[in-house]
Structure formats: structure tokens, C-alpha cells
Structure 1
């Protein structure tokens, strides 16, 4: 199983048009692994060990110690003084995962900028909204122009192909047109069938 950082890097490189062979070489995994995680919509899940879960309560303090330049042994010593009963190896594993998460966050917020009219990006996320005292799940559709970073948001109560198309159509009206290229993440709603490693997607003509 690859780390969250490698999973996001595979997705990002593929979205930029990099070949599977080159992605495998860049990330340091096999081509079959790249294909596997390109097919997977959801990120890899990791089961933390008991002592590593206990370290979550010290996350902010660990981050402060890392900024001060503390190494694993020093961090473990400081945590033991605060009541932590886990081993040094658990701290080292937690630190590796912590640093990978930090890399993933930086990668996720890296801008992809192009010439005007060249590219736009689409993504969606879930949000729980209280309505009449009860939580209701809504979906936020975001379309971003890669050059100007101008954004448009649309909302829906479901996440179907029709919802995605409607959100895109609304953004095209808002922007007064559309770019030559549309980069999509979480695009499983547009896939109508899989054949091997190739996905056949719904074609949209506006």
C-alpha cells in the first residue's frame, strides 16, 4: 500500500498528462501499482496501531517540536514526560506518517496554472448542513479557471452524472464560456464502463 503522499502524487501527475511509465519511475512504484491507484477513487486507508493512535492527542506539540528541530528520540523523551507510554519505534512511525501527510497537504494545495482559456479544473466535496435541527448531506461542486483562479460553486443533494453536468453547465454560463481542457478529480460519476485499465466516460457537448 502506498502512502497518502504517493497516492496524491500519482493522481496529480496523471492529471497533468504524464504517462503511467513515467509516473511509476518518478514515484518509485510499479506500473501496475500506478494503474491500481488510478482506478481507485478513494485514498488508501491505514490502520494505526494503538500507541500511534495515542499520539494523535500530542499532534500539535509534536509539530511544535519538529519546528524546533527536535529528532525522534528527543520527541519521544519529551512525550514520555507528558505521560506517553508508547515505544520510540511508534513515535518514529508516527513521525514518518506525519511528514507524509504534510507533503500531501502541500501537494493538494499546489496551483496548476496555464495560459488564459487553456484549462479549467473541477472537483466536488461533501458537506453536512443542519436543516431543521437535522444534518443534511450536500455536495459542493467547484470549478476553477487554472489561469486566473476565478471560481464558481454549485450545490446539489446528490452526486450523479446529471448533477455534475448541471454544475459544469452553470459554471460555463457564469464564466461566459469554457476552456479547451477540463481536468476532473473524483470523476467516477462520468465513467460509464471500464475495460481493462481504460475508462470510457460520458461525452458532453455544449
Structure 2
């Protein structure tokens, strides 16, 4: 599926009088793809937000936030936090 920019490029080049073959050569996409997008003007790529994926750190995030808040205004090195969550069972 093409992105919105390529779709606009196809339509602009077509409006400028370029042939389907010239458009496909210039944009580096197949002629049938160009032809398909020119036929179906209403079809536009519709990308929505992707679902959030779980992280290995999710079970440890409350602990890490708590440790960081407790250390303010100072900071705790990442290596120290890593060792701490490793002892709690983190295997990442």
C-alpha cells in the first residue's frame, strides 16, 4: 500500500498529462498499481494508530517510577536500576 505522498504524486503527475508508464517509471512503482489508484479516486490509504504492544518492562514500571521519584533531585544510574529489577525477576 502506498503512503499519502505517493498517492498525491500519482494524481498530480496524471493531471500534468504524464502517462501511466511515465508515472510508474518516475515513482518506481508498478504500472498496475498506478492504474489502480487512478481508477479508484476514493480509495486512499487509511492508517490508524497501532495497538500498544506489551513490554517486558511493564510489570516493573511502577517500581522504576517510584525509585526515580524517591531519588529526586538526584538520579540513579540505569545500571543500578537494571540490577535491581533483575533481582526481582526481569529477564530482558
Q: Please report the TM-score for the alignment, with normalisation by the length of structure 2.
A: 0.51
Structure index of larger Rg: 2
Where does structure 1 lack aligned partners over 5 or more consecutive residues? 52-206
**1:50 Cα deviation after fit:** 2.2
More contact order relative to length (CA 8 Å, sep ≥ 6): 2
Where does structure 2 lack aligned partners over 5 or more consecutive residues? 53-92
| CA deviations over 1:136-160 (Å, ceiling 9, x no partner) | xxxxxxxxxxxxxxxxxxxxxxxxx
| CA deviations over 1:47-103 (Å, ceiling 9, x no partner) | 43124xxxxxxxxxxxxxxxxxxxxxxxxxxxxxxxxxxxxxxxxxxxxxxxxxxxx
How far apart, in 2, do the equivalents of 1:31 and 1:47 lie?
Answer: 27
Equivalent residue runs for 1:80-159 within 5 Å: none
Query: Which structure is higher in helix share?
Result: 2
How far apart, in 2, do the equivalents of 1:48 and 1:40 lie?
Answer: 24
Query: Which structure is higher in strand share?
Result: 1
Within the alignment, does 1:49 sit opposite 2:50 as a pair? yes
Q: How many correspondences in the alignment? A: 51
Matched residue SS, 2:7: helix
| CA deviations over 1:130-188 (Å, ceiling 9, x no partner) | xxxxxxxxxxxxxxxxxxxxxxxxxxxxxxxxxxxxxxxxxxxxxxxxxxxxxxxxxxx
Q: Which residue of 1 aligns with 2:89?
A: none
How far apart, in 2, do the equivalents of 1:9 and 1:23 lie?
Answer: 9
- Runs of 4+ in structure 1 deviating by more than 4 angstroms, as ranges, are none
